[in-house]
Amino acid sequence: MTEKKYKATPFPDGFLWGGSTAANQIEGAWNEGGRGPATSDFVRLFTKKMREEEPKEYDSRLPHNASTKEMVADMKEHPENWNLPKRRGIDFYHTYKDDLALMGEMGFKVFRMSISWSRIFPNGDDAQPNEEGLAFYDAVFDECHKNGMEPLVTLCHFDTPMHLAEEYDGFASRHTVDAFERYAATCFERYKGKVKYWLTFNEINNVITNPFTCSGVIFEQGETGNPYYGKWAYKYQVAHNQLVASAKAVIKCHEIDPDAKIGNMLCRLENYAESSKPEDQLQVLFEDHFNWFFSDVQAQGEYPYYMARFFRENGVEIEMENEDLDVLKRGVIDFVTISYYMTYIMRYKGEPVPKPSGSLVSQIKNPNLPMSDWGWTIDPIGFRITLNHIYDRYHLPIFISENGYGAVDELDENGYCADDYRIEYLKAHVEQLGEAIKDGVDVFGYGWWGPIDLVSSGTSEMTKRYGFISVDLDDEGKGTGRRGKKKSFFYYKKLIESNGADLSTDNIVEE
């Protein structure tokens, strides 16, 4: 057999190539195996078409501005009137062996996944964990290792137990902090030796834009009697509680399993100024501060200087327990992970200390970049830029926990998809990842978001597909669920086999 030779690769030996998922988007079986309900089970399908068709009201019963609390109540009373895809997922709960075998066939070295908190503690704060849930993840981790993959596990990925949301307003309460610490300790003890890499919260900065999804905050402000005032005060109090919970989990991980490593997860928002005007440059600085705030606390163990003025001018007074600052200092992370999909254009807003934009999709489009079907800019060079920014700031190892391309896929009569657009996106971003490593950035792994088609996080649709592996299910949950290999499946397999050296799109062998 002729030995394969490739150009020198910037990727180190043992680089962790793989893919990333979340329990609430793939598992399904929302009421099986002793699992309790989670916030993700009350997130409905809401596509762009639906938004255009429903400009005034969600449906005949609820007004357009219905609160989360009102919507959840109606979902409980009239579940038949709602399409709740995250309850279905893609049935990974029953198909995990076959799905992981396909990922192993691609050569994955790592599989980022999450544990469903309410599968371990159905209410989030039960006296005893659910053994059936613990055993399920034992089996999943065993299957990962069987297929040559290290599991990288997120403890809470947008699925706070519903009991904690309804009774305690999620992480607005210190009760939830305590419950999370106990849940994390249970996982570290149970899976010691099986899981080397942990993450605390997925995209923790999303508490500002989506507190229900990220932090289990279900009540409208003022309904709970909490002593927080002003929307920023309330959200940053929740953020503080969640940051303390994260730090406590880090401390527990280091105590229980000193060989394990534990990191954070930041939705990285890389910003460009709209012009060379100093005001626009200043806006980029402000926006970066609001994004970096979360990882600054997690990586540096203290509140950054730049938030003091914002807190003062917006009436934010964080209520802390006596040990909180010490906990944050002791609970610093071992490595940084990010999601990176696009870059943003910022324009000065005319305020000395502006409020963060709160928009995951920039309202100002970059004329120099192409866009996806969902209007997300495609910016591989921005990937290199943000990796350099992160490493320059923290000097900690980096794992890319999410990078991917959502698109409307078309399958032929045999169920095959020639997704060259996904291959081009992957190729361009891995090229720039390699350049960042040549720059000196310490990156030890890359997880493509959605290696298998899954339910979208934001809109709960299946139409927006990321996978190298297709899943025959539509937005209504109709279909056979059959898995198939897209063209990108074979490209990524080739790329991994060469450790990132062979990025050519020629000679893709499809088996």
The single residue of 150, 274, 287, 402 carrying the catalytic annotation is: 402
Cβ–Cβ under 8 Å, residues 375 and 405: no
CA 327, distance to chain mean position in Å, is 24
- Environment class of residue 34 by beta-carbon count within 10 Å: exposed (0-12), middle (13-18) or buried (19+)? middle
| Residue 255: active-site member | no
CA distance 442 to 400: 11
The single residue of 203, 274, 287, 461 carrying the catalytic annotation is: 203
Would you state the structure tokens that stand for residue 382, as one six-digit string?
A: 């921005």
CA distance 293 to 350: 22
Query: Count of CB atoms within 10 A of residue 488's CB?
Result: 30
CA 42, distance to chain mean position in Å, is 18
| N residues, the chain | 511
Would you state the structure tokens that stand for residue 433, as one six-digit string?
A: 């990842």
CA distance 342 to 494: 25
The backbone torsions φ and ψ at residue 205, rounded to the nearest 5 degrees and listed phi first, read: -70, -10
Buried b / exposed e across 45-69, counting CB within 10 Å, b at 16+? bbbeeeeeeeeeebeeeeeeebebb
Element (H, E) at 251: helix 231-256
| Residue 319: active-site member | no
- Catalytically active residues are 203, 402
